[in-house]
Amino acid sequence: MLKIRSFAKINLALAVLGQRLDGYHDIQTVFQTIDLCDELEFRASRQLELCCENLPGIDQRDNLVWKAASRLASSCGVKQGASITLRKKIPAGAGLGGGSSNAAAALLGLRRFWNLDAADSDLFSLAEELGSDVPFFLNGGTALGTGRGEKIEPLPDVPPNRLVVVFPGVHVSTAEAYRSLNLGLTSSAEDLKIQHFIGQMQAVNGSLTGIFNDFEASILAAYPPIVEAKAFLEKRGAATTLLSGSGSSVFGFFSDEESAVAASRDVPRQDWRVFPAKTLSRAEYFQQMFG
């Protein structure tokens, strides 16, 4: 039996450059892993099986864990199966990358569980097919994502930071979020906002005061509960707050663990899910994944 943790992400910066001819959008984003996590458990079985806990209403074969396991088995000629249990804690559809993280964790976990001689490049190829955010979760830590988000360039780890994540109980369609930006085709000019943010982050010892997300301009106006969640974090002492991905989760950075935990306990609405968390370096990401 093998257990593996599947960690969430936040976006420290996100710039949407424009729509591509294939219908997708070019983005530049700085991903960051945090210690909020799901758990996957693998046991020996003659066939491939998946049991999902706390994830109602999703067919097994539509789950990214199932797709990742099936494609890995097919590409590597695996004849044995695996009984996989997925225990969810990361809210689905919250902009925290839970499904993508689960898929990457399945690839990494099954490579070890099945004792496969599969190169990292093979896993990256499968990850790109599974979803735009999946390749990032084969790296973890702090990284720049370009293209659809699938092209990953590791960045120096930011110093440890404490934060609180709030999922305000509303769901934002990713497709609708992109449509709301009303962008034209991708410009050939490089967007300099991300490069400026990365430069500032590296020059000022991991300063995160310049975090930004292009989606906030349209998403906040359309979803008052998200605005309320940001205001909650600010009122409780968060130094900075931001929407993660296209939402609907928001996060805020706090000066220390005590402040973050205190804020997470003072929740005004029953339909909110609130998580104190901390950032994970690349080394911590892999140590805690299999730890």
pLDDT in tens, 236-279: 999 999 999 999 999 999 999 999 999 999 888 889 999 999 99
Looking at the chain, the domain(s) classified CATH 3.30.70.890 span 162-279
Catalytic residue among 26, 38, 133, 214: 133
Confidence of residue 117 (pLDDT cuts 50, 70, 90): very high
The pLDDT-based confidence of 187 (bands split at 50, 70, 90) is low
What is the pTM for the complete model shown? 0.94
Q: Does the structure show a pLDDT above 80 at 189?
A: no
Compute the Cα dihedral for 256, 258, 259, 263 and give only its sign.
positive
How many CB atoms within 10 Å of residue 6? 28
pLDDT at position 174, please? 86
pLDDT, tens digit, 9 for 90 and up, residues 195-242: 999 999 888 776 788 999 999 999 999 999 999 999 999 999 999 999
Encode 180-218: b = buried (16+ Cβ within 10 Å), e = exposed.
bbebeebeeeebebbeebbeebeeeebebebbbbbbbeb
Q: What is the CATH number of domain 162-279?
A: 3.30.70.890
Which tokens belong to 111? 């490579």
**Residue with the larger pLDDT of the pair 125 and 93:** 125
pLDDT on residue 182:
73
pLDDT of residue 133: 96
Instruction: Please name every residue paired with 204 in a beta bridge, in sequence order, or none if there are none.
Output: none
- Respond yes or no: is residue 256 known to be catalytic: no
For a pLDDT cut of 70, what percent of the chain falls above it?
Answer: 97
Identify the active-site residue in 9, 67, 88, 230. 9
Q: Band of the pLDDT at 184, cuts 50, 70, 90?
A: low
Q: Which ranges constitute the DSSP H helices of the chain?
A: 64-76, 98-113, 120-130, 174-181, 192-203, 216-222, 224-235, 257-265, 282-290
Q: For all residues of the chain together, what is the average pLDDT?
A: 93
DSSP per residue, 21-84? TTS-EEEEEEEEEEEEEEEEEEE--SSEEEEEES-TT--GGGSHHHHHHHHHHHHHT--S-EEE
Matching CATH number, 2-156+283-290, of 3.40.50.170, 3.30.230.10, 3.50.50.60, 3.30.365.10: 3.30.230.10
pLDDT at 185: 58
* Domain limits, CATH 3.30.230.10, in the chain: 2-156+283-290
The CA distance from 29 to 148, in Å, is 10
Neighbouring C-alpha atoms within 13 Å toward the C-beta of 250: 28
What is the side-by-side strand order in the sheet with 162-167? 240-243, 250-254, 162-167, 273-278
